[in-house]
Structure 1
Amino acid sequence: MTGIRTRFTSVISAFLFLTLATFGARAQETGGEFLADLHDFRINNYFAVDAFYSFSATGDTETLNRIVVAINKANDAMNSVIASTSGVLSADQIEGLNQSFDKYKDLMRSNINEVRDRGYPDLRLMADLADTASTMNATATELYSVAQQNSGAKADDRVESARSASVLMAQMMARYAARTHSSVSQTFQGATTEIPLDEQAEAFDQYLKNVNSGSPTGELKEILSDVSSKWQFIRSSYVNYNDNNVSFIIDRYSKGIIAGLTSAIELMNSSS
């Protein structure tokens, strides 16, 4: 028990240290790199929320480590956004997003400590975390659109559809985790204002169709075929989200889809 407690404390310490670290990110010179960092920021914040919902039910150290990894990746992306010299967003816009992120990290830390100290979550704190995460990611999405317009670069429709699909899948995954790990999930996952999961599944269908346009070949075709297969395997679980399904399979396949889309984006960018 002492060993587990020590590892738990060590992970929390790493979280506290790394998320408060000074900015050491590279300075970007292009709007394209800026957009990539803002995309990574959104994805990893959803990954952290997804992991927290699981952690809130289990208190598992390995799951806690997933939160830490995701938060630190989001932190790295935010540091890169701040250090960027691309000029596609104003200093005030970036600072506003960073302040929201700081609040989100503080709430995540408080929620983790609640589970650690009491053995179960505080629903009010969970609600605050979910609301803050939802608002922050909505702001990040709006700023992504603004940055895209200001970059002056012609957007690749397939790349943008793949990024939109990735963010949507990450959001759906986090919401599904909320439904799975709490009987009162609607209280803290934003269900009253967000699009229902079955409608989000239909939107994902369209994004995936757009990504597959243009008759992809070679490695890209193989990756997108794998993404489509994984999606068909779990799609009904998102459409019929009130049915009892094996949540860890939904989570694993959702992450596999996001990983596949990430690889597809890299291939499409390298060939453009």
Structure 2
Amino acid sequence: MSSRSLLAIALKFLLLFSLPSFAYSAETASSADSLLKLHQLRLAAQKSLGDFYMYNGMEGDQRYARMIDTSLQNGQALLGSLTQMPGDGSKALLAQLDQHWNSYQSELKVLADTLKTQGYTDLQPVADLANHNQQLMALSAELYSKIQQESGRTVSALTQLSREQSLLMQSIAVDYASRSASVGGSFISSGGENSKSIDELANDFVQVMDKLEQAPQNTAETRQSLGAIKTKWRYIEKSLKNYNEKSVPFLVNKYSDRIIEGLEALSGQYAANNI
């Protein structure tokens, strides 16, 4: 047999063995991308509610009306990009999530328009919106788990922990904005009836930051990112732990956005190193 024939046979076997590996890698990358987008969708959903509370509490300041629109547009774009699901369970949950999102988005737009035209909103529709947001978050969390289960792709530990920290920071910002707005004289927590107080959530945030800082897998880059996040946290930590004193919603809203931005960059660093 000629050397050319042997080379052709070798290339054929190499191609046969590499195709399954390539397909697996492509599927894994697709699932990782879906998980990231779904996480970002959850942040956008949380933020849209916080934007509404800020809009209410800041007496109809139009910058927050624009923020509501931006958060909803971001969420819609992320949801629209979630097209490849690894199994039937995740496909069914995605269909449910799409329905819930459309309903929630419509409710929020109606309330924002009502606030713009009337200058106030009734408590019950706002409570319903907050409840719908909680359902949306729960459903998206279920889908996040289902994608990992069906794809066999598990988000690495520090990547997941930093993503959860972003969601926690956003939840704290939403609760602080809600308390500052005091819609109808009542505070509506983003976590429902059994949620923790703002100072308890702030303590949880500090504990997780300590855990992230102590992780031996940290690189010089991630340690620098953690330090920058912690510096921003110091600007609002006292206000959060003493939330019943002077209210500073603008400050908390501003720095929470920056902290979340830092945490998302950090989780990207962790993901790039698969840690």
Task: Tell me, in whole angstroms, the C-alpha distance in 2 between the residues paired with 1:270 and 1:88.
Answer: 29
Q: What is residue 128 of structure 1 aligned with on the other side?
A: 128
Question: What is the distance in 1 between the residues matched to 2:204 and 2:188?
Answer: 24
1:193 aligns with 2:227: no
Cα distance between partner residues in 1 of 2:206 and 2:50: 22
User: What TM-score, normalized by structure 1, do the two folds share?
Assistant: 0.82
Partner of 1:66: 67
Distance 1:218 1:190 in 2: 35
1:98 aligns with 2:98: yes
Residue 75 of structure 1: how far off its partner (Å): 0.8
Q: Contact conserved, 2:202 with 2:237, CA < 8 A, in 1? A: yes
CA contact (8 A) 1:48 1:67 kept: yes
Residue type of the partner of 2:118?
R
Q: Compared with structure 1, are the counterparts of its residues 198 and 263 closer, same or farther at alpha carbon in structure 2 (3 Å cutoff)?
A: same
Assess if the C-alpha contact under 8 Å between 2:178 and 2:188 holds in 1: no
Which amino acid counterpart does residue 199 of structure 1 have in structure 2? Answer: E
Which amino acid in 2 is paired with 1:116?
A: K
Query: Following the alignment from structure 1 to structure 2, what is the Cα–Cα distance between the partners of residues 88 and 160?
Result: 24
Percent sequence identity over aligned pairs: 27
Over 3 Å counting, the alpha-carbon distance change for 1:227 and 1:187 in structure 2 is closer
Indicate conservation of the 8 Å contact 2:50/2:178, yes or no: yes
Partner of 2:238: 236
Ranges in structure 1 where 5+ consecutive residues have no aligned partner: 1-26
Q: Kindly tell me: are residues 93 and 257 of structure 1, through their superposed partners in 2, closer, same or farther at Cα, counting changes over 3 Å?
A: same
Alpha-carbon distance in structure 2 between the residues aligned to 1:239 and 1:142: 31
CA contact (8 A) 1:111 1:122 kept: no
Match in the other structure for 2:176: 176
Match for residue 49 of structure 1? 49
After superposition, the Cα gap between the structure-2 partners of 1:36 and 1:89, relative to the gap in structure 1 and judged at 3 Å, is farther
Gaps of 5+ in 2: 1-26
Structure 2: how far apart are the matches of 1:189 and 1:122? 18
Q: Distance in 2 between matches of 1:108 and 1:128?
A: 10
Cα offset, 1:137, TM superposition: 0.7
Aligned residues: 245
The separation in 2 between residues aligned to 1:91 and 1:37, in whole angstroms, is 15
CA contact (8 A) 1:54 1:181 kept: yes
Asked if 2 retains the 8 angstrom alpha-carbon contact of 1:227 and 1:257, the reply is: yes
1:218 corresponds, among 217, 220, 224, to 220
Q: What's 1:146 paired with? A: 146
Q: What does residue range 243-258 of structure 1 map to in structure 2 within 5 Å?
A: 243-258=245-260
Offset at residue 74 of structure 1 (A): 0.8
Equivalent in the alignment of 2:23 = none
Deviation by residue 1:71-112 (Cα, 9 ceiling, x = unmatched): 11111111122x124338432211111111111101101101
Could you say which structure has the larger radius of gyration? 2
**AA matched with 1:71:** L
Matched, 1:77 2:78: yes
TM alignment of 1:27-46, pairs within 5 A:
30-46=30-46
Choose 104-113 or 56-65, whichever is displaced more. Answer: 56-65
Higher deviation after alignment, 242-251 or 127-136 = 242-251
TM-score between both structures, scaled by the size of structure 2: 0.81
